[in-house]
Amino acid sequence: MGERHRNYEKKLIAPEQAAEFMEEGWKRADLHVHTTCSFDVLPAKDLNPESLYEKALEMGMDYITFTDHNTVEAYEILGWDREKLVSGAEISIYDPELAGHTLHINVFELDREEFSELMEIAKIEQNLKSFIGYLKRHNLPFIYNHPFWFDFHRQPNPSEVPKLAKLFPVLEYNMHELKQKNELTIALAEMFGKSIVATTDTHSGKLGQVYTLAKGNSFREYFRNIEKGRNYIVPEDLTRELLIEEMNTWIDLIFEKSQKNRDIKNYLTGIKSLDTMVKISRSTLLNYSPKLNKTAMNLFYMISNTGLPASFYIHSEKSFAKEIEKNIEIESQK
């Protein structure tokens, strides 16, 4: 799939170029942001919906959306009708027959009833085509998130991704994926004539580091232009340096800023080092011993700054990306 994404390279622009477009009236948005309403976001004040909403306003985002996992709680907290705010949710759906693995789909401009009905399709029917049919009938904007990310609870099924990508108008270029995986997503987009958005998928409050540009005096108009390919993205890929920075942010959140009394036993990121830190920080001994808590925090900073956990994760993901590409090439030749 190596060179198939060449025609899409003009869609990827630098922040300096983006600034010129914004001066001409183009709008920007980060279309994948998590708040404390998601199960895998630590309970820190900086990450609650109100704080992130204010942060997005201060950054000058033209459209602000929060896409928490299988919930619209952020909008019950903020209110559904606020300046620049666009309702959204990241809905997980496991279709054992069509996909064989879990997909994450960002849906926008949905109301309470539509969210409830979509969750029923996802959890009870487990039928992806029925789910997408509902989205189209209700004219709801939607995105296929991180197509080459797979739930670590289930066996990956990358060879099915091209077939699944055909069902979506827009695919996601995710800041927390390796360049190799994002390039595969771009190759899919070009192969099937799909559009691309760039998102942070942030779980630590770093919204707006990457974003998508399009014209549109309303979110609906903005998204329709994206669907038609009339957009640009300011992307970034996961690197060793970025992952070290992210891990240090998590250490700060885990040991300093999160509320110790909140039950987050089910908190899982899929990155073993982060999950281990959460588990250790929630131990009774550390909670009753500030000195020991500080020592543990400093130890994790030291380990993180060696770059070893980040390097190990990057290496394993690169190997997986190569395996994915090989599987997809095999399938495409059948």
CA 296 to chain centre: 29
Three-class secondary structure of residue 304 per DSSP:
helix
Direct distance between the N- and C-terminal alpha carbons of the chain, in angstroms, rounded to an integer:
15
Question: 239-274 pLDDT, tens per residue?
Answer: 999 999 988 888 888 777 665 544 444 555 556 666
The crossing angle, in degrees rounded to 10, of helices 308-332 and 179-192 is 30
pLDDT > 70? residue 296: yes
- Helix, strand counts (H, E) of the chain: 13, 10
Compute CA distances 325 → 182, 191, 322, whole Å: 12, 14, 5
- 252 Cα distance to chain centroid: 21
For residue 123, what is the DSSP state?
I
Tell me what pLDDT residue 323 has.
Answer: 86
Of 161, 174, 144, 181, which Cα lies nearest the Cα of 317? Answer: 181
Query: Would the pLDDT of 203 be above 70?
Result: yes
Give residue 299's pLDDT band: very low, low, confident or very high (50, 70, 90). Answer: confident
Q: Is there a contact between 107 and 91 (Cβ–Cβ < 8 Å)?
A: yes
Torsion of CA 7, 13, 17, 18, to 10 degrees: 120
Residue 200: the pLDDT is 97
Query: For residues 136 and 144, what is the distance between their CA atoms, to the nearest angstrom?
Result: 14
Whose structure tokens read 């390039």? Answer: 183
- pLDDT value at position 255? 76
Q: Which residue has the higher pLDDT, 14 or 310?
A: 14
* Residue 130: count of CB within 10 angstroms of its CB: 13
More confident residue, 277 or 262: 277
Task: Calculate the average pLDDT of the chain.
Answer: 88
b/e 177-197 (16+ beta carbons within 10 angstroms → b): bbebbbbbbbbbbbeeebbbb
- pLDDT (0 to 100) of residue 9: 81
Domains of the chain with CATH codes: 6-238 (3.20.20.140), 241-312 (no CATH)
Q: Look-up: residue for tokens 């997809």?
A: 328
Give 160's DSSP letter. G
Percent of the chain with pLDDT over 90: 66
Report pLDDT for 93.
97
Q: What is the pTM of this model?
A: 0.89
Q: Of all helices (H) and strands (E), which one includes residue 214?
A: strand 211-214
Q: Are strands 27-29 and 211-214 parallel, antiparallel or unpaired?
A: antiparallel
Average pLDDT over residues 270-295: 65
The pLDDT score that the predictor gives to residue 153 is 67
CB 268 within 8 A of CB 325: no
Which residues contact residue 80 at a Cβ distance below 8 angstroms, ignoring those fewer than 6 apart? 87, 111
Range with lowest mean pLDDT among 135-139, 172-176, 195-199, 246-250? 246-250
* DSSP-assigned states of every residue in 222-281: HHHHHHTT-EEEE-----HHHHHHHHHHHHHIIIIIB-TTS--TT---S-HHHHHHHHHH
Quote the pLDDT of residue 2: 41
**Across 1-5, 40-44, 158-162, 216-220, least confident range:** 1-5
Task: Please tell me the predicted confidence (pLDDT) of residue 285.
Answer: 52
pLDDT of residue 158: 85
- pLDDT at site 313: 86
Predicted confidence (pLDDT) at residue 95 exceeds the cutoff of 80: yes
Share of residues in the chain with pLDDT > 70 (%): 86
Structure tokens at 115: 């969210």
Predicted pLDDT of residue 3: 42
Q: What is the pLDDT of residues 132-165, one digit of tens each?
A: 999 999 999 999 999 999 877 667 778 899 999 9
Span 58-63, average pLDDT: 97
pLDDT > 80? residue 4: no
Q: Which amino acid is at 169?
A: P
Q: Which residues have CB under 8 Å from 334's CB, separation 6+?
A: none
- Two tokens, residue 96: 């054992």
